[in-house]
Structure formats: structure tokens, C-alpha cells
Structure 1
Amino acid sequence: MAAGLLAVGVVAWFTALCAFDIRHRRLPNALTVPGAVAVLCGAAVAGRGWPALAGAAALLAVYLLVHLAAPAGLGAGDVKLAPGLGGLTGAFGVDVWMLAAVGAPLLTGLLAVAALARGRSDPVPHGPSMCVSASLAIAAAW
């Protein structure tokens, strides 16, 4: 039952993140930071604190480096979402973390190519791809 409640919480968090990013093209601190804290605390309680912390730190490092190299290409909100998603997927193992980490930019790239093919040139928000990729990676692990 606890796992079901946690899953509902994660789905609600992902839904709020995706809706906000699609509508406003940004991810607010009010969603990213508390989500990361909740994920890391939940993982610690479940006995997966160290893998979650490692996943959070690794994905934060990757996203921060990309943001610093190309700030127009990856927003600060995506960087702040990285620890939460890295922690969540890291708690499930390196394979899940890697699948989510690689899947998110691939999904955003595919969406951007599809938008260009339809004649649209506005930026594609990356947060939804991060959430969908993490969801699919976790579902594949289950």
C-alpha cells in the first residue's frame, strides 16, 4: 500500500511539472526543490538513500554542465529538476538511471524534429521529456 501511495505522489508531481512546463516554459522552484527533497527522504526511508543520492548528484552534474555550456539550450529549472529525477531513478539502480538520463534528451530531440517538420520553431520544453523518460525507465524496471 505504501508503494501505491508513493507512486500516486510521483505521478501527481510529474503531472504538475509537465503541465507547468508546457504552459509556462519553466519549472518553478516550488515544484522542483520540494520534490527532490521528498524523493531523497523517501529513498532513505526505503533503504535506498545512497543510490538515490548518487543518482541525484550525477544527474545534477550532467545537467549543470550542459546548462553552463549552453544556457539557452537547457534552462535552470531543468537543472533543478535533475536531482529529484536522478534520485528517483537512482534508487531503482544504475540501469534505470541511465535509461532515464539518455531517454530524456532523445525524447526532447524527437519532439523538436517533429515540431520542425510541422513548421513550428518554438522551443520544446524539456521537463516533460525528463518526467516521461523517468516514468518509462521505472516502469521497465518493474
Structure 2
Amino acid sequence: MLAAGVTVVWLVTLCGYDVRQRRLPNWLTLPGGVVIVLAATLFGHGVEALMGAGALAGVYLLVYLGAPTALGGGDVKLAVGVGALTGIFGPDVWVLAALGAPLLTAVLAAGAAMRGIPTVPHGPSMCVASAAAIGLVVL
């Protein structure tokens, strides 16, 4: 239960920071990813966490290198943590979160564009999609 609470606080903090500052700081993204992988390893899910982290971070890195204006480096670093987190719960949860994040960002961006806002941060969509995908399995 403590791990779930800490994870929710981490995700909410990341969302708030990205919305306010339009960036995801290393001091939030990188340690979070490391802690998730270490905790998963302690509870026997290290391989799943590493696979989820590597796969999502790899996809985000490819997008970042191919289209740097599409997302930021902080999103790539956050992909390690949320990829590990969703990987723990299995490939179905990982895929749902991985597909849900860009879809959510696209919906938010369309709404923002109608109000004259040129861009929206992607980090909150990553956090919300991950939490929602996990929630579908846990609840």
C-alpha cells in the first residue's frame, strides 16, 4: 500500500511540474525509474520492469531522435519509470498505457488548439495513461 501511495505522489508531482514548467526534471524522472526497477526486483518482477522500461524508453528515444519537436528529453526519461511500472503488470497493461498516452495527448492538443494554445505537455498523459491502465487490472 505504501508503494502505491508513493507512486501516486510521484505521478501527480510529475504532472504538476510538467504542466507548470513545461519540462520534466531529471531529479524526478531518473530516480523514480531507478526506484521502480529496484522495488520490482525485490518483489520478483525485475525482468518485467526492465523489459517494460527498455521497450518504452526505446520507442520514445526513437521518436525523440526522429522528431525532436514531438516530445522532450524528459519524456524519454519518464518512459523508463512508467515503462517499468506498467511492465510489472504485464504486456497488456504496458501496451494500453503506451498507446493511451499519445492518444490522450492528441485529444488534449486538439482541445488546446481550439482555444489557441499551441502545445500541451506529454508527461501528464504518460502518467495518467499508466495509472489508468494499472487501475483497470488492480481494481
TM tier relative to shorter chain: over 0.9
* 2:123 aligned with 1:140: no
Residue 33 of structure 2 is aligned with which of 36, 39, 44? 36
- Work out the number of aligned pairs and report it: 138
Matched letter for residue 124 of structure 1:
V
Matched letter for residue 75 of structure 1:
G
* 2:102 aligned with 1:100: no
**2:66 alignment counterpart:** 69
CA distance in 1, matches of 2:98, 2:43: 22
Matched letter for residue 96 of structure 1:
V
The answer for unaligned runs of 5 or more in structure 2 is none
**1:46 alignment counterpart:** 43
CA distance in 1, matches of 2:20, 2:14: 10
TM-score for both structures, normalised by structure 2: 0.97
Deviation at 1:107, TM superposition (A): 0.2
Where does structure 1 differ by over 4 angstroms across 4 or more consecutive aligned residues?
none
TM-score for both structures, normalised by structure 1: 0.95
Please state whether the residue corresponding to 1:84 is helix, strand or coil.
Answer: helix
The answer for unaligned runs of 5 or more in structure 1 is none
CA RMSD of aligned residues (A): 0.6
